[in-house]
Structure 1
Amino acid sequence: MAYLVLGAIALWLILRASGRPVLKRREWRFLTGAFAVAALAGAAFFAVREAFVPAAVLAMFGAWLALSTRRPPGGEPAAPRSGSMSVEEARSILGVSAAAGAEEIKAAHLRLMRTVHPDKGGTSGLAAQLNAARDRLLRG
């Protein structure tokens, strides 16, 4: 039992130590949910064998994992207000020059959106920032 707990802690530390997400949002949620089910099953096993201290620890760990599965890791950044972005900020976000036309702005937006879209592991805050930058530049 101790090796299982130490192994789970070591895996968690390895995945979190890099500072950047190793797993995408969906994969992380699936893995966390699987660990939650395993911890709760272990808690039930120990409770049946009348080992209540490990059962309580595993039940709390499983409940914590189950709750953390429901929220995105790191939280979501707030979406910027569309009127607060300057043209220079919008150009630097999209990485376009001052002479960029509408087609170049749309192409840069599409290229960046493919990498930061929430369905691809990005956040809705980053996607909203890209959308605000595109709208600011196309509006003029």
Structure 2
Amino acid sequence: MIWLALGAAILALLVAVGRGRLTARSVSRLAVAALATAAAGGALFEALRAQWIGSVILAGLAIYVGQAARPPAPRGAAPPQRHGMSPAEARAILGVDEAATVDDIKAAYTRLMKRVHPDAGGAPGLAAQLNAARATLLG
């Protein structure tokens, strides 16, 4: 079973390399992740053999090396959070033009909300965008 999983991982790696999706950085991160996985497997094997000291050491190594495989957190200040949307964005979401009346905005909102409401099988995020667009245009 382990050989089947190893073969599938190698095949997936070769397919990704062939498609040009892997960079040198992503390959090195994959290698570090594979090393962490091997250390975790060794820790499990040692634990099954009741070799607790070796198991704890390998588990610690797996955690330490696994942290190195994670992408680094972005440095500096967080990007500014947007609160609300512009009227142009709201009109684009509702599909109305600048000369739209209040009745046109309400009709577009109702028509779209019937399609994307979560109770009708739609997505909550789309319904929230429609609500925000209506609130932006109607005040």
Q: Same fold (TM over 0.5)?
A: no
How does the TM-score come out when normalised to structure 1? 0.40
Larger Rg: 2
How does the TM-score come out when normalised to structure 2? 0.40
